[in-house]
């Protein structure tokens, strides 16, 4: 009886974890009003700790929860200054001039730039960089 109860609790916990697993949201990257934005019009940011053209992101775990990476759907073909890097989990992330791109959840409406210069390491891609 104890084994059956333990198994039922374990399966319930596992089912609960599965329903709370993060989902991958794919986006395109566009230029609007001199800034790079996702397909919903939200501002995109770069992170100073990501070395340009390294093909890698340094933003994982809590960082990636706070600053979600901008992911590209399978088969996406970048152009211009855009490229794709491969994250540790195999997901493709958009990059601009070799710097991975992220969103800031505190931007509530298209055009918000509340994440610009956050901790002096997160930056909006400005028109002069395009």
Residue given tokens 């997901």 in the structure block: 91
Tell me if 15 is assigned to some domain: no
Tell me if 105 is assigned to some domain: yes
Tell me if 18 is assigned to some domain: no
- Encode pLDDT of 22-48 as tens digits: 457 899 999 998 899 999 999 999 999
Predicted pLDDT at 5? 36
Tell me if 95 is assigned to some domain: yes
Tell me if 12 is assigned to some domain: no
Give strand pairing partners of 110: none
Least confident span in 15-24, 41-50, 74-83: 15-24
Tell me if 13 is assigned to some domain: no
Q: Between residues 2 and 73, which one has the greater pLDDT?
A: 73
Domain count, the chain: 1
Predicted pLDDT at 112? 96
Tell me if 49 is assigned to some domain: yes
Name the residue range of residue 36's domain: 24-129
The torsion angles phi and psi of 128, rounded to 5 degrees, stand at: -65, -20
Tell me if 35 is assigned to some domain: yes
Predicted pLDDT at 23? 57
Answer whether 0.85 is exceeded by the pTM: no
């Amino acid at each position: 009886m104890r084994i059956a109860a333990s198994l039922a609790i374990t399966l319930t916990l596992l089912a609960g974890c599965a329903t709370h697993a993060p989902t991958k949201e794919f986006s395109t990257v566009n230029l609007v009003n001199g800034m790079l934005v996702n397909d919903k019009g939200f501002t995109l940011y770069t992170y100073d700790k990501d070395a340009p053209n390294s093909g890698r992101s340094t933003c994982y775990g809590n960082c990636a929860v706070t600053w979600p990476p901008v992911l590209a759907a399978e088969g996406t073909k970048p152009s211009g200054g855009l490229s794709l890097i491969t994250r540790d989990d195999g997901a493709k992330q958009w990059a601009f001039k070799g710097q991975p791109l992220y969103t800031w959840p505190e931007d509530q409406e298209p055009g918000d730039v509340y994440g610009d210069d956050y901790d002096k390491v997160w930056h909006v891609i400005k028109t002069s960089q395009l």
